[in-house]
């Protein structure tokens, strides 16, 4: 996406220049969307994949640097086997179908979470798509899969402990960047905006460390209905917030 095209989109949608660098989305409400239509829950997940397509493309076009999608939580393993299996198949299908499109849009794929817990065939597909998009310089699409922010923090602490044991890190020097550097999101920009769909107002173990000063946006819209206009509205809302970061100055948009 050239800068000119980006400028055009920004003016078309009446946005300001300050686009969030990193957006995290808790994509919730697929089941309820299907239930409202008297369809099986899996129909909601299928429709949700369409929203993913739209949102990934638009984020890329707007110049968002990173988009982290909460696609499957560690706690989601508690769901009935049939639903879990369907979600795994859907993920594989999405990766296969979207690879070309991701490359065309210059999107780099990354995953966070306990990927080793996913079925082998899904791991292979993820590995392949990650490799095939590694050179892309546009949007970084981060899929949070089998993800738990608490587990991510525990893993970081264990790695830090190992460094201290080895003598390559001194415990007294541990500070915020140290912790950040050992998280799975280490190389990503600050999370500016967290969106949760479906009207639930909780973070359900998503990016707990990273959301310290993120703006939170909750919408009753169910994920399969969250499309272009909804994303634009959330960015407009973000651009109206006063971010103070504990100080007294109002900082609009990104810092
Ligand atoms: C979000 O939709 C998708 C996943 C968590 C995998 P849900 O499946 O949680 O939908 P609701 O919350 O039951 O409506
Ligand atoms: C959060 O949604 C996880 C994902 C969107 C992947 P859930 O539907 O699992 O969250 P809770 O159980 O309502 O908190
Ligand atoms: Mg849910």
pLDDT-based confidence at residue 55 (cuts at 50, 70, 90): very high
pLDDT-based confidence at residue 144 (cuts at 50, 70, 90): very high
Query: Under DSSP, is residue 235 helix (H, G, I), strand (E, B) or coil?
Result: helix
pLDDT at 208 over 80: yes
Ligand 2: atom nearest CA of 26 is 5
- pLDDT mean over 188-198: 98
Angstrom distance (rounded) from CA 71 to CA 68: 9
pLDDT-based confidence at residue 255 (cuts at 50, 70, 90): low
pLDDT-based confidence at residue 201 (cuts at 50, 70, 90): very high
Rg over alpha carbons for the chain, rounded to the nearest Å, is 19
pLDDT at 254 over 80: no
- pLDDT mean over 128-135: 98
Cβ atoms < 10 Å from Cβ of 65: 18
The DSSP output letter for 179 is H
Q: Tens digits of per-residue pLDDT, 7-16?
A: 999 999 999 9
Cβ atoms < 10 Å from Cβ of 165: 9
Angstrom distance (rounded) from CA 46 to CA 69: 16
- pLDDT mean over 122-129: 98
Instruction: Name the residue with the closest Cα to ligand 2, atom 2.
Output: 28
**CA-based torsion, 138, 143, 149, 154: positive or negative:** negative
Q: Tens digits of per-residue pLDDT, 63-101?
A: 999 999 999 999 999 999 999 999 999 999 999 999 999
CB distance 76 to ligand 2 below 6 Å:
yes
The β-bridge partners of 240 are none
The pLDDT of residue 45: 98
pLDDT at 2 over 80: no
Q: Return the structure tokens found at 216.
A: 């939170």
Q: Which H or E run contains 111?
A: strand 108-112
Q: What domains can be seen in the chain, in order of their start residue?
A: 3-147+192-239 (3.40.1180.10)
Question: What residues flank ion ligand 3 with Cβ within 5 A?
Answer: 28
Residue 226: is it exposed, middle or buried by C-beta count within 10 angstroms (0-12/13-18/19+)? Answer: buried
Tell me how far CA of residue 29 lies from CA of 32, 33, 35, 43, 145, in angstroms: 5, 6, 10, 12, 17
Ligand 1 neighbours by CB, cut-off 6 Å = 27-32, 72, 76, 87, 198
Q: What is the mean pLDDT of the chain?
A: 97
The DSSP output letter for 168 is S
Whole-number Å distance, alpha carbon 247 to ligand 3 midpoint, is 35
**CA-based torsion, 134, 136, 137, 141: positive or negative:** negative
The pLDDT of residue 251: 78
**Which residues form the catalytic set?**
28, 76
Q: Tens digits of per-residue pLDDT, 236-251?
A: 999 999 999 999 987 7
> Is residue 143 within 8 Å of 60, Cβ to Cβ?
no
Whole-number Å distance, alpha carbon 114 to ligand 1 midpoint, is 19
CB distance 143 to ligand 2 below 6 Å:
no
The pLDDT of residue 3: 86
Instruction: Name the residue with the closest Cα to ligand 2, atom 8.
Output: 28
pLDDT at 24 over 90: yes
The pLDDT of residue 235: 98
pLDDT at 1 over 70: no
pLDDT at 142 over 80: yes
The DSSP output letter for 113 is S
Q: Left (φ > 0), alpha (ψ -120 to 50) or beta: where does 29 sit?
A: left
pLDDT at 252 over 80: no
């Amino acid at each position: 996406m050239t800068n000119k095209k980006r400028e055009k989109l920004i003016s078309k949608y009446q946005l300001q220049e300050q686009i969030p660098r990193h957006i995290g989305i808790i994509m919730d409400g697929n089941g309820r969307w299907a239930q409202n239509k008297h369809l099986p829950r899996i129909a909601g997940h299928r429709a949700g994949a369409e929203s993913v397509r739209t949102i990934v493309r638009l984020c890329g076009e707007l110049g968002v640097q990173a988009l982290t999608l909460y696609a499957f939580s560690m706690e989601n393993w508690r769901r009935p086997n049939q639903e879990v299996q369907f979600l795994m198949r859907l993920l594989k299908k999405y990766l296969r179908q979207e690879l070309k499109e991701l490359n065309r849009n210059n999107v780099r794929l990354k995953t966070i979470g306990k990927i080793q817990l996913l079925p082998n065939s899904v791991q292979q597909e993820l590995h392949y798509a990650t490799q095939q998009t590694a050179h892309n310089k546009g949007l970084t699409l981060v899929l949070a899969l089998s993800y738990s922010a608490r587990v991510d923090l525990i893993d970081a602490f264990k790695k830090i402990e190992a460094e201290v044991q080895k003598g390559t890190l001194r415990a007294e020097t541990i500070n915020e960047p140290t912790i950040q550097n050992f998280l799975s999101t280490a190389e990503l920009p600050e999370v500016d905006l967290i969106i949760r769909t479906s009207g639930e107002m909780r973070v359900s173990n998503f990016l707990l460390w990273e959301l310290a000063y993120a703006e939170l946006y909750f919408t009753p819209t169910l994920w399969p209905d969250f499309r272009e206009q909804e994303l634009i509205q959330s960015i407009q809302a973000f651009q109206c917030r006063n971010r103070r970061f504990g100080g007294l100055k109002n900082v609009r948009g990104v810092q």
